[in-house]
C-alpha cells in the first residue's frame, strides 16, 4: 500500500474496515478506507484517511474472488504483486485447495474467499469460517439466514505472546446456540438432553455445604449445579429443575443436616407418576428417597441409571 512506517499504526483500522466488506460492499469499504461515509442512519463515519492509490491494493485483494479456485488464486497473485509473504500465502491456499479436492470436497462445499479477514489482528495463516446456507424461521416466523456457525485459523504468534516460544497452533470456535437453533429447525435433534442434578438451597448460610455436594457429584462424573436464585420459594427451585430437564433434585434442610441424611427426588419418575398413576401406584412407587449423606453419589447414579 506504500505506507512505509505508517503501516503499523494504520493496520488495525484497515483490517477492521475490510471486515465490513460483506455488509457494505466494495463502495462502502472504499469510502471508509479514504474520506469516510454516511451510514444508513445518516451519521457520518470517519474514514481511515488513505488516498485512492493507497486503498486500491486493498480493494484489489478483496475483489479478487473468481468463479473457481484457479481464477481466484490467479487474481490474488496479480493483487499481491511481488510480495514474498503474499506469494507464500497463496501457495498455502493452493495446497489447501488441492488437499480438499483430493478429499472429495468440491466448490459446492468449500470456497476460497479473500474477503474472509476476521481475526487477522492475531491470526498468522489461513482463516476459515463455516456457514450454513439454508434458511430457517425465527420465533416470529420470519425467514432468516443461519450464516456462520464456526470460525478459526492459524495463530502461531498468539502462543508466543504468552510463552515467548513459537508454537504451531490452529483452532476453531463453534457458535453453539446458533448451531443448535439450526439443528432444531431442521429436525436433527431427536433427543432431549438431560440436564444437571440440581442441589436445592434450604439455608442460604449453608451454601458451602451445597457446593460441596455439587463438587462430589462432578468429581464422580455427574453433571450438577447449585440453585442460585432466591431460595425462599422452594416450589420455584423445583420448577427451575424441571425447566433444566434435571433428572434429580437433592434436598438437605436443617432437620436432614442434624440427622446426617439427604432427600433425593427422582424428577423423571415423579413427573410420570403425576401424569398417570393411581393413588395406590403412587404409594408403591415413591419418587423421593431419604438416604445417608454419604450415599449421595451412589443413590444419584442409581436413579439416573434407572431412568435411562
The pLDDT, as a whole number, for residue 262 is 96
The pLDDT, as a whole number, for residue 204 is 87
CA pair distance 273, 291, nearest whole angstrom = 21
The pLDDT, as a whole number, for residue 166 is 84
Residues contacting residue 162 through CB under 8 Å, at least 6 positions apart: none
Closest CA to 198 of 255, 237, 157: 237
CA pair distance 30, 116, nearest whole angstrom = 17
Q: Which three cell numbers stand for residue 149?
A: 456457525
- The predicted model gives 197-206 an average pLDDT of 93
Closest CA to 203 of 254, 240, 248: 254
pLDDT in tens, 8-31: 778 888 888 988 888 899 999 999
- The predicted model gives 249-269 an average pLDDT of 93
pLDDT in tens, 89-147: 999 999 998 988 888 888 888 999 888 877 777 788 889 999 998 887 777 778 877 88
The pLDDT, as a whole number, for residue 274 is 57
The pLDDT, as a whole number, for residue 173 is 93
CA pair distance 150, 302, nearest whole angstrom = 38
pLDDT in tens, 26-43: 999 999 999 999 888 889
Cβ proximity of 90 and 80 under 8 Å: yes
Q: How confident is the model at residue 259 (pLDDT cuts 50, 70, 90)?
A: very high
Domains present along the chain, CATH in parentheses: 118-190 (no CATH), 197-307 (3.40.50.800)
Element (H, E) at 215: helix 207-219
260 or 137, higher pLDDT? 260
The pLDDT, as a whole number, for residue 290 is 94
pTM summary value: 0.58
Q: How confident is the model at residue 277 (pLDDT cuts 50, 70, 90)?
A: low
- The predicted model gives 210-238 an average pLDDT of 92
- The predicted model gives 208-227 an average pLDDT of 93
The pLDDT, as a whole number, for residue 280 is 61
- The predicted model gives 166-181 an average pLDDT of 88
The pLDDT, as a whole number, for residue 273 is 61
What Å distances lie between residue 144 and 22, 73, 124, 137, 185, CA to CA? Answer: 16, 32, 33, 6, 11
178 pLDDT above the threshold of 90: no
Rounded to the nearest angstrom, the gap between the alpha carbon of residue 102 and the centroid of all alpha carbons in its chain is 30
The pLDDT, as a whole number, for residue 117 is 77
- The predicted model gives 75-97 an average pLDDT of 92
The pLDDT, as a whole number, for residue 286 is 72
pLDDT, averaged across the chain: 87
Amino acid at each position: 500500500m506504500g505506507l512505509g512506517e505508517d503501516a503499523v499504526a494504520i493496520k488495525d483500522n484497515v483490517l477492521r474496515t475490510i471486515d465490513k466488506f460483506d455488509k457494505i460492499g466494495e463502495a462502502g469499504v472504499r469510502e471508509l478506507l479514504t474520506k469516510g461515509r454516511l451510514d444508513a442512519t445518516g451519521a457520518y463515519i470517519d474514514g481511515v484517511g488513505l488516498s485512492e492509490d493507497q486503498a486500491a491494493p486493498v480493494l484489489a485483494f478483496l475483489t479478487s474472488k473468481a468463479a473457481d479456485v484457479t481464477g481466484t488464486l490467479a487474481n490474488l497473485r496479480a493483487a499481491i504483486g511481488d510480495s514474498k509473504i503474499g506469494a507464500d500465502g497463496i501457495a498455502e491456499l493452493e495446497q489447501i485447495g488441492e488437499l480438499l479436492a483430493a478429499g472429495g470436497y468440491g466448490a459446492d462445499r468449500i470456497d476460497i474467499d479473500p474477503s474472509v479477514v476476521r481475526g487477522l489482528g492475531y491470526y498468522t495463516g489461513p482463516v476459515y469460517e463455516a456457514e450454513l446456507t439454508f434458511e430457517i424461521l425465527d420465533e416470529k416466523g420470519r425467514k432468516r439466514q443461519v450464516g456462520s456457525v464456526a470460525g478459526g485459523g492459524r495463530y502461531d504468534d498468539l502462543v508466543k505472546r504468552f510463552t515467548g516460544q513459537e508454537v504451531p497452533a490452529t483452532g476453531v470456535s463453534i457458535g453453539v446456540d446458533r448451531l443448535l437453533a439450526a439443528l432444531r429447525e431442521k429436525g436433527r435433534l431427536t433427543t432431549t438432553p438431560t440436564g444437571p442434578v440440581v442441589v436445592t438451597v434450604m439455608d442460604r448460610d449453608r451454601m458451602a455445604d451445597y457446593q460441596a455436594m455439587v463438587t462430589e457429584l462432578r468429581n464422580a462424573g455427574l453433571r450438577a449445579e447449585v440453585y442460585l436464585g432466591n431460595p425462599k420459594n422452594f416450589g420455584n427451585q423445583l420448577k427451575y429443575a424441571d425447566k433444566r430437564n434435571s433428572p434429580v433434585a437433592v434436598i438437605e434442610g436443617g432437620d436432614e443436616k442434624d440427622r446426617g441424611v439427604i432427600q433425593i427426588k427422582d424428577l423423571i419418575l415423579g413427573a410420570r407418576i403425576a401424569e398417570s398413576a393411581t393413588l395406590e401406584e403412587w404409594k408403591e412407587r415413591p419418587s423421593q428417597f431419604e438416604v445417608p449423606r454419604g450415599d449421595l453419589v451412589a443413590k444419584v447414579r442409581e436413579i439416573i441409571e434407572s431412568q435411562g
